[in-house]
Structure 1
């Protein structure tokens, strides 16, 4: 299956799932209830893998970006291309990270959405009022539930699919989606996010990655690929 078809299928699936969650907001509460013990008012205990994904995975992604950036910079200085990474592709990674997880997710939505996290709402033993996705509320002042920052940085891994050899792109893209979904699931299990927080996080970040590549970067800025 070609990369374009995979991008289309993934984005359409995420889009329709996000629409479903907007029109049926109680699905958020229903999904989260599977991981909440109403008798003890507690969520799933954090396992080692959950702790890894929450605390160590985001820094590892940033480290990987630094390594790729250094590879592109060294290649630019030496007038060579290593592992198909050019300086323009490094710019693509930085821009997509800044716009998606940075500006849209962290600086805007998580700051101004006002959506309380599952563990904070009345339905799960908290005091805040539940609000559906896309409805800006006053139940949270900062670092709010909508959307998931951890899932955003994990979904951003799909950007790597567009900088390496075309032979590996669809596999890297699918791996990025897998990590985003896994991160999201773990955050839902511990009562930190609703399903819609994860879905919209994926929709925003993956869309930004794809749009930047197909309509801007690939058309104007990417150097010719060098096969190794």
Structure 2
């Protein structure tokens, strides 16, 4: 690249890093705000779950084959970006190529780290394994024997794979973030196409999270905070890594 393009790329990187830090601060504030809301009004969690619960019958949506299949399909789709990013990122490193499949190699690395640090480490290894919040289907209000606890307080009502936060909601959020950024890098001029895909991604996030609530597997706060925390991890990673060649920010590409 020429000196001018190098300087321009540097300016875009700095602007992108500042933007990511702004997003990180905002998402951290949103996380704190959501925790306060659900702590102040715990009945929000109970009301959302109660909408899908029938005494004596349980959670009817969890027994609808089409919805069960849909939930499994969303979960399978959510893991696709991770698999693709692993292969593409390794190919870029081995071949020493700045771009693989039209996407910056550093961006493929970002996707891998997002999944590993968000849904993997923060959600499953730390929160779900140690927070101890019982799932809706196991608490007394919905026919179980465990005690309902608000999301901001660690509890002892679950030993492993607990309710707070939702691993599947986090994975679907990682899917949406990853696909959005990859397409913005690969198809910077196809804004109409990307908008349509973004709408599809938003549907997957809402459907994936909503089904976990409808099935009695997670509270509303579990799925909401899972998505926000995953976005927070993404913003922090973006500020640190700032993957090159983002078409959406006009980043200069190597030719």
Is TM (by shorter chain) over 0.5? Answer: yes
State the secondary structure of the residue aligned to 1:144: coil
SS across alignment from 1:45: helix
Q: 2:244 aligns with which of 209, 219, 222?
A: 222
Give the 5 Å matches for 1:19-168.
19-38=36-55, 40-46=56-62, 47-74=64-91, 77=95, 79=97, 81-157=99-175, 158-165=177-184, 167=188
8 A contact 2:82–2:115 mirrored in 1: no
Any idea what SS the aligned residue of 1:131 has? coil
From the superposition, tell whether residues 35 and 143 of structure 1 become closer, same or farther in structure 2 (CA, over 3 Å): same
Gaps of 5+ in 1: none
Report the CA distance shift for 1:49/1:21 in structure 2 as closer, same or farther (over 3 A): farther
TM-score (norm 1): 0.81
Structure showing greater Rg: 2
Distance 2:241 2:32 in 1: 23
Q: Secondary structure at the match of 2:157?
A: coil
- Structure-1 residue corresponding to 2:208: 183
CA-CA distance at 1:83 after TM superposition = 4.4
Q: Rate the CA distance shift 1:225–1:54 in 2: closer, same or farther, 3 A.
A: farther
Contact 2:172–2:204, Cα closer than 8 Å, also in 1: yes
TM-score, scaled to structure 2: 0.74
1:190-211 deviations in Å (ceiling 9; x for gaps): 1111100011101110111122
- Higher relative contact order, chain-length normalized (CA < 8 Å, sep 6+): 2
d(CA) in 1 for partners of 2:128, 2:97 = 41
Q: Deviations over 1:10-37 (max 9, x none)?
A: 9476764443212211111111111110
CA distance in 2, matches of 1:111, 1:80: 38
Instruction: Measure how far apart 1:70 and its partner are.
Output: 3.0
8 Å Cα contact 2:166-2:218 kept in structure 1: yes
CA deviations over 1:73-96 (Å, ceiling 9, x no partner): 445627473443122111101111
Q: Residues 101 and 50 from structure 1, CA distance in 2 versus in 1: closer, same or farther, beyond 3 angstroms?
A: same
- When the two chains are superposed, the root-mean-square deviation of aligned CA atoms in Å is 3.1
Deviation at 1:102, TM superposition (A): 0.5
Cα offset for 1:162? 2.2
